[in-house]
């Protein structure tokens, strides 16, 4: 949600208004936009009767790099401020570092900076999923890589030529690093599923009226 057109059409807000009428739901919002702050009132209302969390996508804190990777997204610091403000008003929010892009955003130093900033913002969770490239995605990403990071193009071709996903060993390395960093900075879990709070009881399912 929270595409640029959302400012005008408020489709996401209308959906949240519907969720606010129900209870016992488990909801997650993933967004790259700090426009989510516009709907704090609805998120709080939903949170009183449901289990809701917000995952703000931030792949790097480097503003210049972010402009290259995500030219239409708000600056990383604005997105991290959204994480801070959401948590300040009692809405569980954290960071999705997805995708972690090999040799561009996946260095231990960069990931630690991101985890540290998340902890300082009061983030409840942070997780990182490595980049995967299915053929349709590779058709767009590889020309971009050749233009912006030509020194990496050959390596990426060899890594992704026959596989959409990176080797298991790479996933394990990122997972182990993120787990270590979460422990270091006191972030309890990756997806916020170990918060310990009792979930609201789900409302009884019923057939909706056609007319």
- What pTM, to 2 d.p., does this model score? 0.88
pLDDT tens per residue across span 3-17: 999 999 999 999 999
Question: Does the residue 14 lie in any domain?
Answer: yes
- Residue 26: strand pairing partners: 51
Q: Where are the alpha helices (DSSP H) in the chain?
A: 6-9, 11-19, 40-47, 63-69, 76-88, 108-120, 135-148, 153-160, 168-185
**What token pair was written down for 156?**
């990426």
Q: In whole angstroms, what is the distance from residue 182 CA to residue 64 CA?
A: 26
Q: Are residues 83 and 140 located together in one domain of the fold?
A: no
Report whether 56 contacts 127 (CB < 8 A): no
pLDDT tens per residue across span 17-66: 999 999 999 999 999 999 999 999 999 999 999 999 999 999 999 999 99
Domain extent for 77: 6-131+166-185
3-state secondary structure of 136: helix
Q: Are residues 36 and 113 located together in one domain of the fold?
A: yes
CATH number at residue 30: 3.80.30.30
Among residues 29, 49, 39, the alpha carbon closest in space to that of 7 is found at 39
Q: Are residues 139 and 46 located together in one domain of the fold?
A: no
pLDDT tens per residue across span 120-148: 999 999 999 999 999 999 999 999 999 99
pLDDT of res. 1: 85
Q: Are residues 23 and 53 located together in one domain of the fold?
A: yes
Domains of the chain: total: 2
Q: DSSP string covering 11-38, please?
A: HHHHHHHHHTT--S-EEEEEES-GGGGG
């Amino acid at each position: 949600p929270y595409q640029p057109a959302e400012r005008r059409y408020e489709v996401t807000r209308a959906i949240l208004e519907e969720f606010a009428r129900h209870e016992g739901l488990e909801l997650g919002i993933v967004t790259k936009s700090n426009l989510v702050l516009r709907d704090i009132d609805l998120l709080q209302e939903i949170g009183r009767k449901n289990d809701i969390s917000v995952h703000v996508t931030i792949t790097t804190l480097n503003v210049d790099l972010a402009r290259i990777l995500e030219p239409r997204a708000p600056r990383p610091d604005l997105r991290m401020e959204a994480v801070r403000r959401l948590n300040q008003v009692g809405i569980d929010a954290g960071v999705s570092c997805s995708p972690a892009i090999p040799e561009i955003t996946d260095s231990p130093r960069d990931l630690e900076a991101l985890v540290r900033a998340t902890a300082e913002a009061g983030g409840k969770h942070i997780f990182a999923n490595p980049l995967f490239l299915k053929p349709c995605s590779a058709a767009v990403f590889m020309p971009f890589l050749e233009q912006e990071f030509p020194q990496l193009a050959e390596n990426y071709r060899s890594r992704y030529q026959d596989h959409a996903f990176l080797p298991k060993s790479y996933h394990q390395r990122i997972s182990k690093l993120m787990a270590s960093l979460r422990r270091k900075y006191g972030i309890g879990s990756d997806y916020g599923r170990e918060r310990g709070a009792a979930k609201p009881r789900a409302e009884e399912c019923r057939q909706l009226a056609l007319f």
